[in-house]
Amino acid sequence: MPNSSLDESALAGELTSILGDLIALPSDFPPGDTRKICAYAAERFRGSGYDTAIETKTEPIANVVARRGDGKPCLVFNAHADTVGVGNPDAWTSDPLRAVVRDGRLYGLGAANCKGSMAVHLWLAEEVARRGGPKKGELVFTFAGDEEDLGPGGTCYLRQSGLVKPDILIVGATTENQLITAERGVLWVKITARGQAAHAGDPASGDNAIERMMRLLAAVQTRVFADLGERRDGAMASTANIGTFHSGHNINVVPSECTVEIDRRLLPGETVEEAFGEIRDAVEAAGEPPASRSVELLRGTNGFKGAEDGRAVGAFRAAIEARTGAAAQFLTPVGAYDGRYFADDDIEIVNVGPGAGAEGHATNESVPVTQLVDAAVIHLDVVERLLGLNG
């Protein structure tokens, strides 16, 4: 297998260099501008002989798709190119847009989530090219934007437009090189309550939208949220969170409108349509006049639960054990990854990559250099097991 043919000291230097380049290219959301970082990646892919295109649904969200080979299976590697914002720059011990290696860890915004996986995928694409390309099938690399917003312009667009049609999808994720093969779905819902403004000195002459929203939320709590704790699939739980609450513009005015936004995480056996219907029905059952309330589905993707003995999983299990001497672990994610856009496509989906989940979105974000090296060796091993290499 490829492990024995790599100079790991040189590999560490190459991965550190690539990741440093990626960190230096701002791609934070908002605004989620991924044009520069995707242009950098596209140039490297083209330089290694990949058929490469930058695909855009809505500016400034750019996505890279790079292909090599033909036929089945179509093995797709995916990582998101956008990051969260820096937050408070004074809380960082170094420039968040400059990679710094200290005590064996590389620091910088996106080092773990998810530019570490991008660096591994870029190196992998170039190493496969150096070895003559895949013996069979098609190898595809995708770097997508709009992930941090759970938006429609990134991987969602690549899937819906048919630009990417994987048989196997490997999604870069902060798993410390372990495996995620099951993931909850995501549903974002907005509830709006309407009333009539009036002077706070005479509240009876108005109709308080906040009070109406409290009644609507009480109905949702009683009819939907109270029972979610009973819904589980192994370590995965069905959950709900009221994430935003907006109303009023002055303390002495009866508010005429109130909105809340709810995040629902769905078990693989639950669907977006069913979960949205539960909330909508609860709002309707609250007894408020129809014109005074509305429910809107903002985002929605189903979850998935893959087999732990699939072809790609088997390749990763073997590669991880060959590299580490230990059996692969299967993790339960807290967040959501872009593989969920393909949840209904009957394909194999594996989330895997360097970095710990706790590092994503954290001040002084970092990734161990040894994990980058391990990830590169494991990923190359997997490509050879699944597609073979010509050289």
pLDDT in tens, 225-275: 999 999 999 999 999 999 999 999 999 999 999 999 999 999 999 999 999
CA contacts within 13 A on the Cβ side of 128: 34
Domain range list for the chain: 2-183+304-386, 185-301
pLDDT per residue as tens digits for the range 27-52: 999 999 999 999 999 999 999 999 99
Residue with the bigger pLDDT between 391 and 74: it is 74
Q: How many CB atoms lie within 10 A of CB 13?
A: 12
- Please give the CATH architecture assigned to the domain spanning 2-183+304-386: 3-Layer(aba) Sandwich (3.40)
Q: Report the pLDDT value the prediction gives residue 391, as an integer from 0 to 100.
A: 79
Mean of pLDDT values over 165-171: 98
Q: Left if phi > 0, otherwise alpha if psi is -120 to 50, otherwise beta: which for 387?
A: alpha
Cis amide leading into 258 (omega within 30): no
- Please give the CATH architecture assigned to the domain spanning 185-301: 2-Layer Sandwich (3.30)
Q: Report the pLDDT value the prediction gives residue 336, as an integer from 0 to 100.
A: 87
Q: Please choose, from the candidates 46, 389, 388, 339, the residue with its C-alpha nearest in 3D space to the C-alpha of residue 164.
A: 339
Q: Which residue intervals of 271-341 are DSSP H helices?
A: 272-285, 311-324
Q: What is the mean pLDDT of the chain?
A: 96
User: Tokens 């709009």 map to which residue?
Assistant: 146
Amino acid, res. 201 = G
Q: Report the pLDDT value the prediction gives residue 4, as an integer from 0 to 100.
A: 55
Beta-carbon contacts of 91 under 8 Å, excluding residues fewer than 6 positions away, are: 363, 364
Tokens found for residue 164:
């990417």
β-bridge pairing 348-352 and 236-237: unpaired
- Asked whether the domain spanning 185-301 has the same topology as the one spanning 2-183+304-386, the reply is no
Q: How far apart are CA 289 and CA 207, in angstroms?
A: 12
Label each residue of 199-265 as H, E or C: ECCCHHHCECHHHHHHHHHHHHHHHCHHHHHHCEECCEECEEEEEEEEECCCCCEECCEEEEEEEEE
pLDDT per residue as tens digits for the range 64-109: 999 999 999 999 999 999 999 999 999 999 999 999 999 999 999 9
β-partners of residue 169 are: 76, 349
Tokens found for residue 54:
């930058």
Q: Report the pLDDT value the prediction gives residue 194, as an integer from 0 to 100.
A: 98
Rg, C-alpha atoms of the chain: 23
In this prediction, what percent of the chain has a pLDDT beyond 70?
A: 99
First to last CA, the chain: 12
Q: Which residue intervals of 266-368 are DSSP H helices?
A: 272-285, 311-324
Q: Which helix (H) or strand (E) holds 330?
A: none
Contact assessment for residue 181 and residue 308, using Cβ atoms and an 8 Å cutoff = yes
The rounded Cα 146 to chain-centroid distance in angstroms is 9
Beta-carbon contacts of 272 under 8 Å, excluding residues fewer than 6 positions away, are: 185, 187, 266, 297, 300, 301, 302
Q: How many CB atoms lie within 10 A of CB 245?
A: 12
Q: Report the pLDDT value the prediction gives residue 115, as an integer from 0 to 100.
A: 98
Q: Report the pLDDT value the prediction gives residue 1, as an integer from 0 to 100.
A: 47
